[in-house]
Amino acid sequence: MELRNIAGTEAALGWAASHTVVVDRPDGKAGGGGIGFNGAQLLGLAIGGCYCNDLRYVSHDMGREIGEIAVSVTINLDGMPLIASKAEVTVRVQMLDGSDPAQVIEEAWRVCTVANSLAQGLPVSLTRG
């Protein structure tokens, strides 16, 4: 993944392969223009997006079809420097055949890469280049 500033703004454009995302601060905050997601929003989207994908992976592996997925993520921020102190995920899944989705929900959560990485406290490093 790569990020670069967007000329004429104080926002950044991030990309991985052919996918892009704009990263910014709220309008009027530290030069932000509100034209993209902030870090906490991206963190929540990473958790929820990974879980949505894992729901699909697991349901396919089990031979079960999902009709609808609704995932909400709340990120709590505290302290100085500001850090994410808690993430809460709420999920609703409807199976196409009307069956109970509990097994799919639990297995997808068990294997969710982003949630597991954060819960185990992945090391993050910085290299000046």
| Digit-coded pLDDT (tens) for 8-66 | 999 999 999 999 999 999 999 999 999 999 999 999 999 999 999 999 999 999 999 99
Q: Residue 40 in 3-state DSSP?
A: helix
What would you measure as the largest C-alpha separation in the chain, in angstroms? 53
Distance CA 24, CA 58 (A): 34
The domain ranges of the chain are 1-37, 38-120
Q: What is the CATH number of domain 38-120?
A: 3.30.300.20
pLDDT value of position 108 = 98
Look up residue 1 and give its amino acid: M
Q: Residue 9 in 3-state DSSP?
A: coil
pLDDT category of residue 91 using cuts at 50, 70 and 90: very high
For residues 32 and 24, the answer to whether their CB atoms sit within 8 Å is: yes
